[in-house]
Amino acid sequence: MLQAILIPFYERDIRQLMEELSLFEREEDLWKVRGSIKNASGHLALHITGGLNYLVGTLLGHTGYVRNRDLEFSSPPVPREQLIAGLEALIPMIQRSLSTLDMASDYPIPFDDAVRTNGYVLLQLALHLNYHLGQVNYLRRMLT
């Protein structure tokens, strides 16, 4: 089952993102940008949390989470512990939402401007998470 492959990847990358946030020497650096990355690490963490809570939690797991995507990128700084707690909460939500999901069924809304399967969307979201994890790692090393 695709779930048995995807769930550990989500958990691994979410935990690594939490570790990256913890490794910032100065908490205020979570909200700075450098180089070609235009979103601060804190905002990227909020974006991952909001996106997965909505796209997996609400649309597949029926959690009722309401997303404010604009706020993910414009929120004033929040404490590091709050960012990490939000990410930590994603792990059991993803496990519950994917545990009995039919990966071959259509995702509830169009994705990438087309009808896609749940499996397609969940793979794309895992890749998106990994992309932002790399950005956070890059920013942390530039700011240290």
> For residues 100 and 109, is the Cβ–Cβ distance under 8 A?
no
Per-residue confidence (pLDDT) for residue 88, from 0 to 100: 98
Burial of 96 (0-12, 13-18, 19+ CB in 10 A): middle
Average pLDDT, the chain: 97
pLDDT digits (tens, 9 = 90+) for 131-140: 999 999 999 9
Helix or strand run (H / E) with residue 79: none
For residue 1, pLDDT beyond 80: no
pLDDT digits (tens, 9 = 90+) for 66-87: 999 999 999 999 999 999 999 9
For CA atoms 62, 91, 52, 50, the dihedral sign is positive
pTM of the model: 0.96
User: Hey, how many other C-beta atoms are within 10 angstroms of the C-beta on 50?
Assistant: 22
Residue 31: name the closest of 131, 136, 132 by CA.
136
pLDDT digits (tens, 9 = 90+) for 18-52: 999 999 999 999 999 998 889 999 999 999 999 99
For residue 114, pLDDT beyond 80: yes
The domain segmentation of the chain, as residue ranges, is 2-143
The architecture in CATH of the region 2-143 reads Up-down Bundle (1.20)
